[in-house]
Amino acid sequence: MDQADRGRLIELTRFAPGGGHCFIAPLADVPPGDREEDPFGSPLVLFEDGIALGPPHSLHAGIREAGGGRYSHWKDSLYLSASDNSDPRVNRRRYQIYVPAVRSGAVGRALASLDALAEGYTPAEAYAAVERCLAALYPAAKIGEDLKSFWNEREFITAYRMLAGDNYRALERKWTVYNLLKALDSVAGDVAECGVYNGATAYFLALGIERGGRRRVLHLFDSFAGLSQPGAADGSFWRAGTLACPEEVARGNLARFSDVRFYRGWIPVQFPAVAGRQFCFVHVDVDLYQPTRDSVEFFFPRLQAGGMLVCDDYGFDSCPGARRALDEYFAGRPERIVHLPTGQGLVIKLDPRAAAAN
Ligand SMILES: C[S@@+](CC[C@H](N)C(=O)[O-])C[C@H]1O[C@@H](n2cnc3c(N)ncnc32)[C@H](O)[C@@H]1O
């Protein structure tokens, strides 16, 4: 790609006060700015001394009141604020807008956000560019916060990559389950998982048990033949037999842990094998209404007070049946379902005597 294909930089030299931290620069010979019918349409990127500012498309009240580099290309003007809310007429900084060559449509805007990254970009600039890129291509998707410290938990990340490769979509859910279980040292009982697949979550359950202060058994239930037949509550996303994984794969992944027991079969056929046990943590991850309902009905009464049930599928549009199963089961009970931003549903078992007294 030669320089002409990469778009152009335009120097901004005229700024009029726009109230608060906001200044207004007139623009000419640039693509259309944001407007009522296309509020995220502008592909322009604003730089201050070579560093991209943002967020773009900011509300003008936010530019005036908070500033901090917020800007908006609205119609034929740029409403901007300096990174430190200084006055761009006198702060001796250089303001440039990058006008990408590919300027139309969502793909153009996405490419522009990457193209605008300067050589030697910082991790924060890369993160912001990818945010803008995804916002253009898939506006409903939301990238979460940057700089999460658990990304640097070496043992956890290494284990995750061993089990799931470089697909990090489930990373936060695994981290959540692992940490919830580690927090349950004061609650007695075993741990169970319904829906095991290759044993990736089970691995972190076993690790959580290992790191905790109690001896517990991990009980793992799966058909190892994939999903059962979806029913009317399950929508159209799933097919019977998807997510089949040989039991040997899960056993291999968990080989280094003792006190792990496998129960192969359709849920709930094997549940009676653990009918006499108590549990501190149950992970339900079978995607469909009926096995979710069966799992919750069997295990929730066997959870100790203070114990937790996590349904992996609760907050996913692909699993309406799992959500319905939980909503129905807990509708008449004192416990509430906490809809976590990971998509998981968490329920903490209350002490039945305390709940009855209230
Ligand atoms: C999403 S995967 C589980 C993933 C696993 N919990 C993890 O995070 O690594 C769903 C699993 O549920 C199992 N499953 C679905 N319906 C089932 C049923 N009716 N009885 C037994 N297993 C079932 C499938 O075989 C599959 O392994």
DSSP letter at 97? E
Residues near 333 by Cβ (< 8 Å), separated by ≥ 6?
none
Does residue 81 contact residue 24 with C-beta atoms inside 8 Å?
A: no
Ligand 1, residue 265: give the atom nearest the CA: 21
Rounded to whole angstroms, the maximal C-alpha distance in the chain is 78
**118 lies in a domain?**
yes
- In this predicted structure, what is the pLDDT of residue 4? 43
Q: Determine which residue's CA is closest to atom 7 belonging to ligand 1.
A: 201
AA identity, residue 320: P
CA of 122 to the centre of ligand 1 (A): 40
Residues 254 and 333 in one domain: yes
If asked whether residues 84 and 167 sit together in one domain, one would say no
The whole-angstrom separation of Cα 118 and Cα 70 is 19
Q: Which atom of ligand 1 is nearest to the CA of 245?
A: 27
- The answer to whether residues 161 and 184 belong to one domain is yes
Residue 313 CA: nearest ligand 1 atom is 1
| Shared domain check, 167 and 132 | no
Instruction: Judge contact between 123 and 131, C-beta under 8 A.
Output: no
Which residue's CA is the closest to the ligand 1 atom numbered 6? 196
- The amino acid that residue 254 corresponds to is L
334 in Cβ contact with 358 (< 8 Å): yes
SS3 47: strand
CA 10 – ligand 1 centroid, Å:
55
One domain, residues 157 and 133:
no
176 and 290 housed in the same domain:
yes
Q: Assess whether 70 and 160 both reside in one domain.
A: no
CATH code for the domain of 296: 3.40.50.150
Same domain, 71 and 214: no
Which of 112, 137, 162 terminates a domain? The answer is 137
Q: For residue 317, what are its two tokens?
A: 């549009």
Are residue 184 and residue 307 in the same domain, yes or no?
A: yes
Q: Has residue 211 been placed in a domain?
A: yes
Nearest to 209 by CA among 226, 228, 192: 192
Cα distance between residue 347 and residue 325, in whole Å: 13
Q: 122 and 220: one domain?
A: no
State whether the beta carbon of 201 lies less than 6 angstroms from ligand 1: yes
Structure tokens at 281: 């943590």
Query: What is residue 358's predicted lDDT score, i.e. its pLDDT?
Result: 64
CA distances from 270 to 46, 206, 220, 263, 265 (A): 61, 20, 10, 6, 6
Nearest alpha carbon, ligand 1 atom 16: 227
Residue whose C-alpha is closest to residue 135's, from 56, 193, 80, 189 = 56
Tell me the residue type at 42: S
Q: How far is the CA of 311 from the centre of ligand 1 (A)?
A: 12
| 290 in the same domain as 215 | yes
* Residue 171, ligand 1, Cβ within 6 A: no
CA separation for the pair 329, 50 (Å, rounded): 56
Total residues found in the chain within this entry:
358
**Whether the Cβ atoms of residue 350 and residue 330 lie closer than 8 Å to each other:** no
Six-digit token string for 137: 């291509």
109, 137, 165 — which closes off a domain?
A: 137
Q: What is the pLDDT of residue 190?
A: 98
Q: What pTM was estimated for this model as a whole?
A: 0.78
Statement to judge: residues 101 and 177 lie in one domain? no
CA-nearest residue for atom 27, ligand 1, is: 197
Q: Which atom of ligand 1 is nearest to the CA of 267?
A: 20
Ligand 1 centre to CA of 276 (Å) is: 23
DSSP string, 105-155: HHHHHHHHHHHTPPTT--HHHHHHHHHHHHHHH-TT-----S--GGGG-HH
Q: Report the chain (358 residues): mean pLDDT per 10 consecutive residues.
A: 64 96 94 88 91 93 96 96 97 93 77 84 94 93 95 96 93 98 96 98 97 94 98 97 97 97 98 98 98 98 98 98 98 97 98 74
101 contacts 5 by C-beta, under 8 angstroms: yes
* Domain tally, the chain: 2
> What pLDDT does residue 1 have?
38
Q: Are the CB atoms for 77 and 33 separated by under 8 Å?
A: yes
Indicate the residue among 114, 137, 160 that finishes a domain: 137
pLDDT at 317: 97
Is the C-beta atom of 63 inside 6 A of ligand 1? no
The finding on whether 177 has its CB within 6 A of some atom of ligand 1 is no
Q: Is 254 helix (H, G, I), strand (E, B) or coil?
A: coil
pLDDT at 38: 86
Residue 183: inside a domain, yes or no? yes
Distance 81 CA to ligand 1 centre (A): 51
Please give the residue range of the domain that contains residue 78. 3-137
Residue 54 near residue 70 (C-beta atoms within 8 A): yes
User: Residue type at 262?
Assistant: F
Number of H helices, E strands in the chain: 10, 15
